[in-house]
Chain A
Amino acid sequence: MKSTDPRRLAAGATGWPDRFAHLEQPPPWIWLWGTEAPMHPAVAVVGSRRATAIGLEIARTLGRDLGEAGIQVISGMARGIDAAAQRGALEDGGTTVAVLGCGVDVCYPPEEATLRDGIVANGCLISEEERGALPLPHQFPKRNRLIAALAVAVVVVEATLRSGALSTARWAADLGREVLAVPGSIRSSRSDGTNRLIRDGARPFLGLDDLFDAVPELVGPAAGGTGARRRRRTVPRLSAELEDLLGHLGPDPVHPDAVGAACGLSAAAVASSLGALELAGAVMSLPGGLVARTF
């Protein structure tokens, strides 16, 4: 099925995702555009449109690791977390499915045209709207149920209390899918939704292992998948001074001036060390000139 034209698929036709049968009101037909059909088992990665830099980074690496493990990533191609996860999935040869709230041939958000092309080439776009349908607000909650139906587990990376990702999580729970949430600071409104999910019984997601623990059937494809090699974090050897400075950094973003004050180094020395650490991949730059430790 290496077709690159959008196709209309009626319920029960060949290639129709069986898992839609779990829905109380399955769509009578869908539009599908792409080269890869939805696979099983697949994992949905969803989250806020407005995300923090760290949230985007988590989504991207999660997507990449899943792709590498041969597990398909399902999401909604929305700005922020969704797009980051799908971009990550395509990074290392994985496949990904985007369930859209607009017509399958409408690129929304428009700035994600490159990602859309990538998904068509290495996955597929799915929509239950007619071709050319505009992205109207009421269509998005509806498509969330399709995301939940296709996945065996939903990972919510970052969500505020009003985020649409919570509706995907609710659908998933109703359908008996595993729901995992990435915990965040209790002071951060960007993580209110995921923290609330954890309080209400979702599993905290701290790493891929949590996902495999929750859904044992994922371990099979992960072990035998195309990209079975699990990424080994290469921790570069650092000089003593760099190690020392790294010791003053945590995952919370801080300003270099604060780092300098904490370890008594001049602004020039701090800038130089941070530059070296960033190159070594130990530190990342965030908006506002802040830095945070990556591992």
Chain B
Amino acid sequence: MSCATRGLAGVPVTIEADVANGLPNFTIVGLTDRAIQEARERVRAAVRNGGFDFPQRRLTVNLAPAEVPKEGSGFDLGIAIAVLRAGGMAISLAGTAFLGELALDGGLRPVAGVLPMARCLARAGYCRLVVPSENAGEAALVDGVEVYGAPTLGACVRHLEGSEPLPVASAMAEPRADTVSEADLADIRGQGQAKRALEIAAAGGHNLLMTGPPGAGKTMLAQAFGSLLPDLEPDEALEVGAIYSLRGAFRERSFMALRPPLRAPHHSVSRAGLVGGGSGLAQPGEISLAHRGVLFLDELCEFPRTHLEALRQPLEERKVTVVRARGAVSYPADFTLIAAANPCPCGHLGDQRGCNCSPRQLADYQSRLSGPIRDRIDLAVSVPRQHYHTLFDGSEEESSAAVRSRVDSARGRQRERGRLLNAALQGRRILADARMSAAATRLLGRSGERLHLSARAFYRVIRVARTIADLAGEDRVGEPAVAEALRYRMEVGA
């Protein structure tokens, strides 16, 4: 009759009520949290103020299955309906589930996580769902379930009695506004190498590290990166929407937005905020909010090392599992990492102004940069400070739309070969897909000796070269693609 969430997957919860003789009392059991215990007062008041009788007997409500921890105020409506039925009111429930928080006057308030819960209930075979009016558009995004938005408990009861049926809610429309807010590549002058690296990263889903002095335009490039990614498929968009719904992030992002999300947490973010966590059952963190989109970490070296270490598992498995006392929760976290960092503590290494860091400082800094997540960075590129004459020379820069069309076709080529983007391909699979020409293989062999590449670095180069060939529309990875991929290896200048 209602639903609890456990990660993105929910667990349908049946609410039972029993009325027995004895002193008037109201107990709720079933591994509940504080908010559910407080539901007793809300339900009692809402039932009375809604114009119904509250049974003055010994009342027990059970939320089943009893071993699943349950949190939040979303069970209020279900509990109230169960109580009214136990009190003798004839309401037909036939396959209906309820979500919503009660106000003392009997009104219904919106709750977080309606979208994933609606998905779960639909899968569990519930065909009707009553939610607060504010949540109706969100819940109706889910196929296979009729959603009714009720403004009050009274409206819900009259709907169930059949005296005043509510209309079936329609899915919320996608607001057009959020496509406009992305930065466009054409707004950034110069930076040819960096733009090329962004294009490759977008086409193959590669993680990218940009280094450069402060003010060179790293942040702007990262913001423009989102504009190079293709729209999400509808089911992907729903998955992303479900994560935002869990966070109750109504204002941050429309649940139906098709543009991939871009998250840019500040380096002062807590570890729980980054990877997920919090009190009670873990909430999704920034990396899950960036699911199917972009996670931009500016000033990468300012992030505590433990945070970066915590990113390893999600980068590898494309999901994150957070274990808390009340249970382990998994959230999807399949994102492209765009990181930016100064090349050295003072920020001017390799710059005209000259760097005045000591060798010790430099070594420390570079080990921070390369330590925990270097294994997962496929592309590294430097972003130099721009001269003012390049900023104002009036030449035409390529727009994001033009680059995106190339990215789209490169992604199309990857889809023809398989389900995964090049960045996610492992060992044998990428070797088979690369179909390297003899000359390319020789070149790569030479590079191993000359540039001291590790085995891992080899695979990174091949993955990137495969994407470069996809962008060029070539079936085989040739010499130029390998040579270019070698330019973007992480070891540059270190």
A residues touching B (Cβ–Cβ < 8 Å)? 49-50, 53, 79-80, 111, 189, 253, 255-257, 260-261, 266-268, 270-276, 278-279, 281, 285-290
A residues near B451, Cβ cutoff 8 Å: 278-279
State whether the Cβ of B232 lies closer than 8 Å to any Cβ in chain A. Answer: no
Q: Annotate B347-382 by CB proximity to A: 1 below 8 A, 0 otherwise.
A: 001110010001100010000000000000000011
Q: Are B493 and A288 in contact (CB under 8 A)?
A: yes
B residues near A253, Cβ cutoff 8 Å: 350
Which B-chain residue is minimally distant from A273 (CB atoms)?
B483
Q: Are A279 and B493 in contact (CB under 8 A)?
A: no
Q: Are A271 and B443 in contact (CB under 8 A)?
A: no
State whether the Cβ of B190 lies closer than 8 Å to any Cβ in chain A. Answer: yes
A residues near B384, Cβ cutoff 8 Å: 255, 257, 288-289
Q: Are A289 and B382 in contact (CB under 8 A)?
A: yes
B residues near A261, Cβ cutoff 8 Å: 192
Given A270-B193, A289-B381, A276:B350 Cβ within 8 A: no
Given A271-B488, A275-B484, A257:B190 Cβ within 8 A: yes
A290 to B351, CA, bound (A): 9
Interface of A: prevailing SS: helix
Stretch at the interface among B130-138, B416-424, B474-482: B474-482
Which of A53, A80, A278 has the most CB atoms of chain B within a 10 A radius of its CB? A278
The 8 closest A-B pairs by CB, nearest first: A288-B350, A289-B382, A275-B483, A267-B192, A272-B484, A267-B196, A276-B483, A275-B486
State whether the Cβ of B485 lies closer than 8 Å to any Cβ in chain A. Answer: yes
Q: Annotate B432-456 by CB proximity to A: 1 below 8 A, 0 otherwise.
A: 0000000000010011001100000
Which B-chain residue is minimally distant from A274 (CB atoms)?
B487
Q: Are B192 and A272 in contact (CB under 8 A)?
A: no
State whether the Cβ of B204 lies closer than 8 Å to any Cβ in chain A. Answer: no
State whether the Cβ of B100 lies closer than 8 Å to any Cβ in chain A. Answer: no
The listed residue (A273, A274, A275, A288) touching B382 by CB distance below 8 A is A288
A276 to B478, CA, bound (A): 12
A residues near B358, Cβ cutoff 8 Å: 50
A260 to B482, CA, bound (A): 19
Which residues of B (409-433) have their CB < 8 Å from a CB of A? none
Q: Are A289 and B211 in contact (CB under 8 A)?
A: yes
State whether the Cβ of B320 lies closer than 8 Å to any Cβ in chain A. Answer: no
Question: How many residue pairs bridge A and B at CB < 8 Å?
Answer: 103
A268 to B410, CA, bound (A): 15
State whether the Cβ of B109 lies closer than 8 Å to any Cβ in chain A. Answer: no
Q: Are B193 and A279 in contact (CB under 8 A)?
A: no
B residues near A279, Cβ cutoff 8 Å: 443, 446-447, 450-451, 483, 486
State whether the Cβ of B195 lies closer than 8 Å to any Cβ in chain A. Answer: yes
Q: Are A276 and B479 in contact (CB under 8 A)?
A: yes
A281 to B343, CA, bound (A): 24
For chain B, the count of residues having a C-beta within 8 Å of the partner chain is 41
* 7 A–B contacts from the bound complex (CB under 8 Å): A49-B359, A257-B191, A272-B481, A275-B487, A278-B486, A279-B450, A287-B494
Which residues of B (237-262) have their CB < 8 Å from a CB of A? none
A51 to B192, CA, bound (A): 29
Given A257-B192, A285-B493, A272:B382 Cβ within 8 A: no
Which residues of B (11-29) have their CB < 8 Å from a CB of A? none
Which of B190, B351, B486, B494 has the most CB atoms of chain A within a 10 A radius of its CB? B486
A residues near B468, Cβ cutoff 8 Å: 268
Distance between A92 CB and nearest chain B CB, rounded to angstroms: 16
B residues touching A (Cβ–Cβ < 8 Å)? 190-193, 195-196, 211-212, 343-344, 349-351, 354, 358-359, 363, 381-384, 443, 446-447, 450-451, 468, 471, 479-488, 492-494
A residues near B195, Cβ cutoff 8 Å: 267
Q: Are B487 and A271 in contact (CB under 8 A)?
A: yes
A residues near B349, Cβ cutoff 8 Å: 287-288
A279 to B487, CA, bound (A): 10
A97 to B268, CA, bound (A): 49
A79 to B195, CA, bound (A): 37
B residues near A273, Cβ cutoff 8 Å: 483
B residues near A53, Cβ cutoff 8 Å: 493
Q: A275-B486, A286-B493, A288-B351 are in contact. List 15 more A-B contacts (CB 8 A).
A: A80-B359, A189-B354, A255-B384, A266-B192, A267-B193, A268-B468, A271-B484, A272-B487, A274-B487, A276-B443, A278-B487, A288-B349, A288-B493, A289-B193, A289-B493
Distance between A39 CB and nearest chain B CB, rounded to angstroms: 30
Distance between B437 CB and nearest chain A CB, rounded to angstroms: 14
B residues near A272, Cβ cutoff 8 Å: 480-481, 483-484, 487
A residues near B480, Cβ cutoff 8 Å: 272, 276
Q: Are A50 and B359 in contact (CB under 8 A)?
A: yes
B residues near A289, Cβ cutoff 8 Å: 193, 211-212, 350, 381-384, 492-493
Given A79-B359, A80-B359, A272-B487, A290:B193 Cβ within 8 A: no
Distance between A54 CB and nearest chain B CB, rounded to angstroms: 12
A217 to B363, CA, bound (A): 40
A260 to B487, CA, bound (A): 14
Distance between B400 CB and nearest chain A CB, rounded to angstroms: 15
Which A-chain residue is minimally distant from B192 (CB atoms)?
A267
A253 to B350, CA, bound (A): 8
Which B-chain residue is minimally distant from A78 (CB atoms)?
B359
Which A-chain residue is minimally distant from B348 (CB atoms)?
A288
Q: Are B350 and A286 in contact (CB under 8 A)?
A: yes
A261 to B395, CA, bound (A): 12
A266 to B468, CA, bound (A): 14
A253 to B351, CA, bound (A): 10
Q: Are B196 and A290 in contact (CB under 8 A)?
A: no
Which B-chain residue is minimally distant from A80 (CB atoms)?
B359
The listed residue (B193, B354, B443, B494) touching A257 by CB distance below 8 A is B193
Q: Are B485 and A285 in contact (CB under 8 A)?
A: no
Which A-chain residue is minimally distant from B381 (CB atoms)?
A289
Which of B363, B480, B483, B488 has the most CB atoms of chain A within a 10 A radius of its CB? B483
Which A-chain residue is minimally distant from B486 (CB atoms)?
A275
A residues near B211, Cβ cutoff 8 Å: 288-289
A267 to B350, CA, bound (A): 20
A278 to B483, CA, bound (A): 9
Given A279-B447, A281-B450, A111:B493 Cβ within 8 A: no
B residues near A278, Cβ cutoff 8 Å: 450-451, 486-487
Distance between A191 CB and nearest chain B CB, rounded to angstroms: 12
